[in-house]
């Protein structure tokens, strides 16, 4: 499963002012069932480019179709999402 264009808009709305907290992860899992959703510290993503940056979190799309996960900018290739709080670890 990947992220459909309509889901990107829903994700944007859900993350506009959201925190990288358990409730947000649950909401993302409901918006994109079948995709992996995780939280990581900003320092762990320092060398990656986020797909979107919101007020309190950055969203990274994960392509897990091969042996190793990699960050992607293509929702059509995304098999998961990672959230990192903006401004360092929370």
Encode the chain (90 residues) as per-residue pLDDT tens digits.
789 888 999 999 999 999 999 999 999 999 999 999 999 999 999 999 999 999 999 999 999 888 888 999 999 999 999 999 997 544
- Residue 32 in domain: yes
- Residue 69 in domain: no
- Residue 54 in domain: yes
- Residue 89 in domain: no
- Residue 42 in domain: yes
What's the pLDDT score for residue 66? Answer: 85
From residue 44, give the alpha-carbon distance in Å to each of 31, 40, 54, 76: 25, 7, 18, 24
- Residue 52 in domain: yes
Number of domains into which the chain is organized: 1
What's the pLDDT score for residue 2? Answer: 82
Q: Using CA of residue 3, residue 43, residue 53, residue 74, what is the dihedral sign? A: negative
- Residue 18 in domain: yes
What's the pLDDT score for residue 10? Answer: 94
- Residue 5 in domain: yes
What's the pLDDT score for residue 89? Answer: 44
Q: Which domain holds residue 41?
A: 1-62
């Amino acid at each position: 499963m990947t992220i459909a264009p309509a889901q990107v808009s829903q994700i944007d709305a859900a993350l506009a002012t959201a925190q990288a907290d358990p409730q947000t992860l649950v909401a993302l899992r409901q918006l994109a069932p079948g995709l992996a959703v995780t939280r990581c510290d900003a320092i762990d993503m320092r060398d990656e480019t986020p797909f979107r940056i919101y007020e309190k979190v950055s969203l990274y799309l994960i392509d897990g179709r091969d042996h190793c996960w990699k960050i992607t900018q293509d929702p059509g290739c995304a098999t998961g999402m990672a959230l990192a709080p903006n401004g360092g670890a929370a």
